[in-house]
Every structure is written in structure tokens, then in C-alpha cells.
Amino acid sequence: MHQRSLTEINLLTRAEFIGFIGPVFEHSPWIAGRTWPQRPFRSAEQLHRQLCETVGAAVPEEQLALIRAHPDLAGRLAQAGALTPESTQEQAGAGLDQLTAAELAWFQENNARYQAQFGFPFVICARLNKKEALINGFRLRLNHTREEEIKTALEEIFKIAELRLRDLIAD
């Protein structure tokens, strides 16, 4: 993985910035594009905060599109090897690439149940959780309201983005 210093990141053109920072948010380069004009960023934390504020300022339809851009956990994209490199690594780190047939069926059933209930995939920061925590997360969050889940999904996306951003920025 190619890292850059914050100084280098601040000097990137808009297109370069989108290409480098865009993958921090799953299939949503518009976030980096809208955040680029706020350069220079003084720290990785400030850059992360600005990116999250861009999401917070987006209209609800854009926020939902961001949530919907995330793959199901151990879903069909993972089974087909069609996840982004970041999602592949994150799901493998949580042990989702080593599920038994019964566990895989459980995840697929609950992905479908969650999707039917809320209209978007279950999003959780896989890098901060292992398989058991993911299962417990499903059980708990299926009892939430849609509004609570939108808020929770965005909070989880911000955690994912922070970790991905740390991977990109050289100290």
C-alpha cells in the first residue's frame, strides 16, 4: 500500500486527492471531492473530521447512497471475490473468510432480514470486531428503528474511514 505524508496530500490536485483519499469511503469519491477545497489539513484527525463533516452535510439521499455502497458481511460479493481490496482485507480480518457453511447461511439470512427491514446493508467496522461481535451486532441492531440504524451505520462508516485513512497517511 502506498502511503503519503500530509504535506504531499495537501499538494495533490483535486483529481489526485479524489483518487488517493476517495477509497476511504466505499465507492463514494464525492466525499473526497467535496472535502478537497478545505486544504490544507493540519493533521490526519482534522482530515478525517472534515471528511465526516462532508458526509454530515450531505442530503439524506446521499447519506443513504453511502450506506448502500457497503457490501453485505460474507455476502455474495465476498463469495464471488468482488469486494474492494479494503473490504476484502477487513472482512478477512474479522474471520468472515473462514465461516462454516452454517455460519455463512446465518450471515446471508440475517443480511437479507436486515436489508428487508431497513433498506440498506448492515454496516459495522469489521476491523474492530470479530465474528462473534458481528453476530451480536446483528441481533442487537435488528431491534433498532430505521433512524437509529442510519445514525449507527454512519458512525460505523466513520470508524472504517478513520482506519483506512490511517493506512494511507505516513507519519
Q: Which residues are catalytic?
A: 70
Q: Which residues contact 88 (CB under 8 A, 6 or more apart)?
A: 78, 81
| Closest residue by Cα to residue 102 from 135, 142, 72, 143 | 135
CA–CA gap between residue 26 and residue 139 (Å, rounded): 24
